[in-house]
Amino acid sequence: MAAAAFICSRATMAAALIPRRALSRRFSMSCSAASAASSSGQGAGGVEFTGKVGFLGLGIMGTPMASNLIKAGYQPSPAEVASSCDVTFAMLADPESAVEVACGTNGAAEGLAPGKGYVDVSTVDGATSKLIGERITSTGASFLESRFYLGDVGNGAAMKLVVNMVMGSMMVSFSEGLLLSEKAGLDPSTLVEGPSMVKATYPTAFPLKHQQKDLRLALTLAESVSQSIPTVAAANEVYKVAKSLGLADEDFSAVIEALKSKAQGSKQ
């Protein structure tokens, strides 16, 4: 079960207002760090929220979000987090984990009730988001898929896949450009800010394995609506090669190593 934490102290948060259509007025809140609030306790343009907020999935994304709001905590079950909090945020690595945390044994749904809210910012397919949403709302709690609110549950998940699909494909193209500039005798540092990719170091901001998972889900979405996305299919294969090279946990910019490997192989 994914790591979890909940905030026992009252927190005031500002910016990124959750739509009132998605949550009841009680849960209309701002959701960034507590430090963003002014000393008066009211963020600029924000709405003061004084309930308890829980986080499920303390990975690369979840840990800093939760750390901005809590200084100490423990790892209760998702059900305990949801039961103890007014609003629970979930950010899991894949559809299977998202379903397990929300709907499984001791899952968040077991701790939810009318008047509570569940916000899922995991990158999953639309069917998974709908499944989770149905389970959450069956408890009487409110459900919001984030980061995009586009009406019916599932639309936000699809849009996030599209965005991540574009990001992943662009990184492959950017990597090709970086290698081409170097091959043409140009200084690669003029193309990219910072030395990481030029020096072949890839500090993880977004794991390569997650980017490949998002491309896979995007391809499934495209097939379901009969949309051809050949560029994405090609990019997905490059990421799969990168994973086979042991780069799954590196930043997704490490995909450039797959292209280097291919180039070296063609010389032999």
130 noted as active-site residue: no
185 part of a folded domain: yes
22: amino acid identity, one letter: A
- Specify whether 123 is located in the same domain as 170: no
pLDDT-based confidence at 198, cuts 50/70/90?
confident
Distance CA 212, CA 209 (A): 5
pLDDT score for 265: 65
More confident residue, 42 or 264: 264
Query: For residues 157 and 92, is the Cβ–Cβ distance under 8 A?
Result: no
Residue 103, token pair as written in the block: 């709907």
Question: Comparing 76-90, 191-205, 212-226, which segment has the lowest mean pLDDT?
Answer: 191-205
Same domain, 114 and 44: yes
Per-residue confidence band for 141, with pLDDT thresholds at 50, 70 and 90: very high
203 and 244 part of one domain: yes
Kindly report, residue by residue over 200-255, the tens digit of the pLDDT: 889 999 999 999 999 999 999 999 999 999 999 999 999 999 999 999 999 999 99
pLDDT at 71: 52
* CATH at 245: 1.10.1040.10
- Look at strands 142-145 and 4-6 and give their pairing: unpaired
Q: Which of these ranges, 90-94, 178-182, 235-239, 264-268, has the smallest mean pLDDT? A: 264-268
Phi/psi for 20 (5° steps) reads -65, -25
Residue type, 126: G
pLDDT band at 149 (very low <50, low <70, confident <90, very high): confident
Give the residue from 78, 162, 69, 68 showing the smallest Cα distance to 120: 78
- What kind and span of H or E run contains 55? strand 53-56
Residues 78 and 194 in one domain: no
Annotated catalytic residue: which of 52, 160, 213, 243?
160
Report whether pLDDT(175) > 90: yes
Q: What Rg, from alpha-carbon coordinates, does the chain have? A: 21
For the chain, what is the domain count?
A: 2
pLDDT band of 264, cuts 50, 70, 90: confident
The range of the structural domain enclosing residue 257 comes to: 155-267
Strands of the sheet with 142-145, listed across from one edge: 4-6, 53-56, 87-90, 117-120, 142-145
